[in-house]
Copies of this chain bind each other. A is one copy, B any other.
Amino acid sequence: MRMGEGVEWGLHCCVTLGWLDDQAPVSIRRLAAWFDLPQEYLKKRLQPLARAGILTSTPGVRGGWSLARPPDRITVMDVVTAVEGPLEAFRCTEIRKRGASGRDAGAEFDRPCGISSLMRQAELAWRRELAGRTIADLMEQAPAGAARTRRNYGRMTD
């Protein structure tokens, strides 16, 4: 089971745009140079976040990307869901009902399968951790990162 690398890009872009809030919007050219990425590749990473109302892009010569709402109102779970979709990682296909196994179950299958329930419970524990932390939390816990980002961004000349 692997999470796409879009989640890591999404979170780093949100934190960076949070730190550069007073410089917003940040042009796609600068943001791509910031991470040493082709612009088109980065755009594809940002689009799901725009569709989810996490980032906003302003058109025009002075346009660019910024957070669409305050960083304390964007949870890490919001970013993960925007990139990976809302579906659970484990999906029950009702194996218990198949073949000889499932015959004459009576009302037993009215209740959810115990395996499915446990997997869901574990995913909820994971979601709770990510829903309880915001982009603002990530920004605050890395003051050195904030200083480095503002310093290095100020040095960009084009």
Contact = CB atoms under 8 A, between A and B. Distances in A.
A4 interface: yes
Contact of A11 (B12, B115, B152): B115
Interface string A126-156: 1111100100001001101100110111011
A102 to B, nearest CB: 8
Contact of A89 (B2, B11, B105, B138): B2
Contacts of A72: none
21 contacts: A1-B1, A2-B87, A3-B91, A7-B90, A12-B96, A12-B115, A34-B100, A36-B98, A36-B100, A96-B145, A100-B153, A104-B151, A108-B144, A108-B145, A114-B138, A118-B133, A118-B138, A119-B130, A121-B129, A125-B125, A125-B128
A36 to B, nearest CB: 3
Tier of interface size on chain A = 35 or more
A103 B3 CA distance: 27
A114 B139 CA distance: 9
Interface of A: 1-5, 7-9, 11-12, 15-16, 33-37, 76, 84, 87, 89-93, 95-96, 98-101, 103-106, 108, 114-115, 118-119, 121-123, 125-130, 133, 138, 141-142, 144-145, 148-149, 151-153, 155-156
A118 B131 CA distance: 11
